[in-house]
Amino acid sequence: MKKNRLLLIAALIGMLICTGGCGAQNGETSSDKNTEQPVIELNVSAAASLTDAAKELSQLYNQEHPEVKIVYNFASSGTLQKQIEEGAPADIFISAGKKQMDVLQEAGLLVDNTRRDLLGNELVLIVNKENEINGFEDLNSDIIEKISIGTPETVPAGKYAQEALVSMGLWETIQPKLVMAKDVRQVLTYVDSRNVDVGLVYRSDVTGVENVKIAAAAPTDSHSPIVYPLAIVAASQQQEAGMDFIAFLTSDIAAEVFTQYGFLTLQE
């Protein structure tokens, strides 16, 4: 009986020793645990045309801020606007058009004084590289059967395209040829796969795409100025982290990346 009692005491002592020191054998101490930085999740709702540039920028940002996890939600600006109105998680909204940002601002869904214009872009007519199409003058010809643009009501690029086609006197005559897309990336896919003959997208969308080329650029006075505004969403629980990320997006480093992807920077 006495022997069993001694064995039990020894086992308890061993457990106490391991509780205090076993972690240290693996190089981990209680102070290490206390100094670990919590991960901040920053939800960024961004226009689909920003996809490639935004992903590269988040990687650069994480090199200096490993504690922040950037979670992107890419879609058409109109779709993102509706999601934010309905309470979807979003800390930052980057739109490809002013209209969607205006609606949220008027509804009080953005943090005051955080809105700013980030980027500009250019509207271009694109074709598959195997097609011989010279420009907008060919849109009424028989060689073009299908023309794709983003849905004007929800896709800023589609709205700019509609304005340009109206300005050039083409909108009414090409109605039977139009194929609407949910965003500019879908337009690009349609042209790349040759499901349509031509499409209208941003110049930045064509960067790095092998099978697509620019046939012509729309005259700048044929549509409203293309501006990408951004702002902090009022419902955000990470407004401080959001402002820091916005500061990075408006930095010279970010401007270089945006330029490489075909965007125009609008820094003051």
pTM: 0.79
Give the per-residue pLDDT at 37: 63
- C-beta separation of 136 from 216 below 8 A: yes
Which string of b and e fits 97-122 if b means at least 16 CB within 10 Å? bbebbebbbeeebbbeebbebbbbbb
Q: What is the pLDDT of residue 217?
A: 96
pLDDT computed for residue 26 by the predictor: 39
Q: What is the pLDDT of residue 207?
A: 84
pLDDT, residue 163, reads 97
CB 232 within 8 A of CB 92: yes
Please give the Cα distance from 236 to 193 (Å, whole number): 39
Domains and CATH numbers, the chain: 38-120+226-265 (3.40.190.10), 123-222 (3.40.190.10)
With contact defined as beta carbons under 8 Å apart, do 109 and 80 qualify?
A: no
End-to-end CA gap in the chain: 85
Run means of pLDDT, 10 residues per run, the chain, 268 residues: 46 46 39 55 96 96 95 96 97 96 97 96 94 89 95 95 97 97 94 95 89 94 96 97 97 96 83
d(CA 57, CA 62): 9
CB 197 within 8 A of CB 145: yes
Please give the full DSSP string across 84-134, using - where no structure is assigned: HHTT---SEEE-SSHHHHHHHHHTT-B-TT--EEEEE--EEEEEETT----
Q: What angle do CA 108, 227, 152 make, to 5 degrees?
A: 80
